[in-house]
Amino acid sequence: MRTSSNPAFRNLPTAAARAPYAGFNQPHGGVPGYGAPQTAEGAADRPMTVDDVVLKTGASLGVTLLVGVITAIWAQSQVAANSMGAVTGAMIAGMLVGLVLALVITFKQMASGPMTLAYSAAEGVFLGAITGVFELLVPGIALQAVLATAAVFTVMLVVYKTGAIKVTPKLTKWIIGALGGALVLMLANLVLGLFGVNMGLRDGGPLAIIFSLVVIGIAAFSFLLDFDMADRMIREGVPAKWSWYVAFGLMVTLVWLYLEILRLLSYLNGSD
């Protein structure tokens, strides 16, 4: 089985109800150090369907949107009251909680509805706080970012379903390599920025705009690998509860894409 660029989709259940789902156990794409999930109770579970994935992803996305909107409205009221510290605190708290939950779900391979929804809520707080501030600076930017994210997701889903771009091992390696390179550059930019060195990747200039476009492109292509992995899980008859894990993986990419689109729009509107 091919490895997705999304860490959440790597080394998925190799022992999930080995019979009758033994075909899902493939040696390709395993990541050393990832433990096999405990799925004995899923042996009698029905196979995953497309509807399961759609419903679980929709529920997760709905939680993020609801919490995000509430947090954004709250953040704007706090900024108006000169309480930016509270907004920053909420932003950091949401980011850290979301990160911890993502790491636990990914490395422990937890197909858990409560954990996935908790992650979605934490990301809602994080994105809502950021969006609320940007909305004050550039009215309408939140709706633009949401619509752009939805458009990219839809286009990539159509591209995958129509087979316009085939998910091949070569494409998989290219996307993973591009993702790794982008992460290295972002980390280097962050570290050097602490020492006053500006690489120009996040300052709103021409290079920053180009970099954001490249990152958005990588995130968009990552959807192809996510869709392919979910499709393979369905065809192999993985137990239905793992649709929560698929939903979590898709949410990781959606959050990343939205954040990068929001950043790009802020550059184009001169707010950064």
Domain that holds residue 203: 47-268
Total domains present in the chain: 1
pLDDT reported for residue 14: 43
Average pLDDT per consecutive 10 residues, the chain (272 residues; last block may be shorter): 51 42 33 36 70 94 96 93 90 95 90 94 96 92 95 95 90 91 88 82 87 94 92 90 93 95 91 58
In a domain, 152, yes or no: yes
In a domain, 10, yes or no: no
In a domain, 32, yes or no: no
Could you report how far apart the first and last alpha carbons of the chain are, in Å? 42
Q: What is the 8-class DSSP label of residue 166?
A: -
In a domain, 258, yes or no: yes
The Cα–Cα gap between 126 and 116 comes to 15
CA 246, distance to chain mean position in Å, is 11
Contact 141, 72 (CB under 8 A): no
CA 104, distance to chain mean position in Å, is 15
Contact 14, 36 (CB under 8 A): yes
- Region of 239 on the Ramachandran plot (φ > 0 left; ψ -120 to 50 alpha; else beta): beta
- The kind and range of the H/E element at 190 are helix 169-194
Q: What sign results for the dihedral spanned by CA atoms 48, 49, 50, 51?
A: negative
In a domain, 229, yes or no: yes
In a domain, 23, yes or no: no
φ, ψ of residue 239 to 5 degrees: the values are -50, 145
Taking 3-state DSSP, the helix, strand and coil percentages for the chain, each rounded to the nearest 5, stand at 75, 0, 25
In a domain, 129, yes or no: yes
In a domain, 33, yes or no: no
